[in-house]
Chain A
């Protein structure tokens, strides 16, 4: 226990930047102080190993690649959705004459609802991207 107190005291001295042992210390305490001093010096040294020279360049490349991939994503989703819907409607009309007056007419009557929904989706995605970039 007494030894712990002594060690605590010596460590605190070095934490406070005291680099010389006190005059009234015993020889054994002075030796301990010197050992701690040496230890503190080593603990403050950087390890030999480090990151590779091209680390930041590799990282920047990886980030810009992921940005290029992610940016047009919501436009792709919108285009695929719109394209698929148009293709399905067209196919139905071409394949079966009944759809001229049936399902196609129903869908046609909701055309503005579809357009509005799609516009809302794109607007949300667009402003979300803008606000994220601005850090809001």
Chain B
């Protein structure tokens, strides 16, 4: 069990083993947030390294006003968003109205192969979704953050977080419903 109140001062005193324990505790959280946004494993790993270096350098500014996981997830989220901005991903600039009217466009032969497995299919659909949808889905379901914590991490108002989460799940459920229907018939 990682005790942040005990381990953080050790890291600040230059104890690299304590930092290693911190990395092992939070590497999955950081990877999930980054990978869901970036979608490229190699890019995600590089960004994760940068995230942990930022954490190491700025840990002294962590004032225990939130959970360490929330603080780390925010750094990971902002780093991934910066990476996307640098690579000029169109979906980042998508307006909210467009998000509300979002529809999947995944009908090509390659994607048909993915549809053989429910989990793979759902993950594939998530990868096609706008960044905000992917972020809230990951933070809520995979990392089990509350709405308030997601607001702290992403800066989106809680109402927007709820709305994105609802819309994302509904879109996925509609696609999954069709998928399951085709599986049975």
Interface hits, A24-70 → B, CB 8 Å: 32, 35-36, 38-40, 42-47, 49-52, 55-56, 58-60, 62-64, 66-67
B177 within 8 A of A: yes
Residues of B within 8 A of A47 (CB): 32, 35-36, 123
Identify B13's interface contact among A51, A55, A58, A133, CB under 8 A.
A133
Q: Identify 10 new A-B residue pairs, CB closer than 8 A, beyond the known A35-B173, A132-B60.
A: A38-B180, A39-B122, A39-B169, A42-B119, A43-B142, A44-B142, A47-B123, A51-B45, A58-B49, A63-B16
B116 CB–A CB distance under 8 Å? no
Given contacts A51-B31, A56-B24, A135-B60, contact A44 B177 (CB under 8 A): no
Q: How far is the CB of B176 from chain A (nearest CB, A)?
A: 6
Contact indicator B166/A7 (Cβ below 8 Å) = yes
Q: State the majority secondary structure of interface residues on B.
A: helix
Majority SS of interface residues in chain A? helix
Q: Are A46 and B28 in contact, with the CB atoms below 8 A?
A: yes
Give the interface residue-count category, chain A.
20 to 34
Q: Digit string of B36-79 for contact with A (CB within 8 Å is 1, else 0)? A: 10000100110011001100100110000000000000000000
Chain B: number of interface residues, binned into ranges: 35 or more
For A43, the chain B residues whose CB sits under 8 A away are 122, 137, 141-142, 169, 172
Question: Interface of B with A (CB < 8 Å)?
Answer: 8-9, 12-14, 16, 19-20, 23-24, 27-28, 31-32, 35-36, 41, 44-45, 48-49, 52-53, 56, 59-60, 118-119, 122-123, 137, 141-142, 166, 169-170, 172-173, 176-177, 180
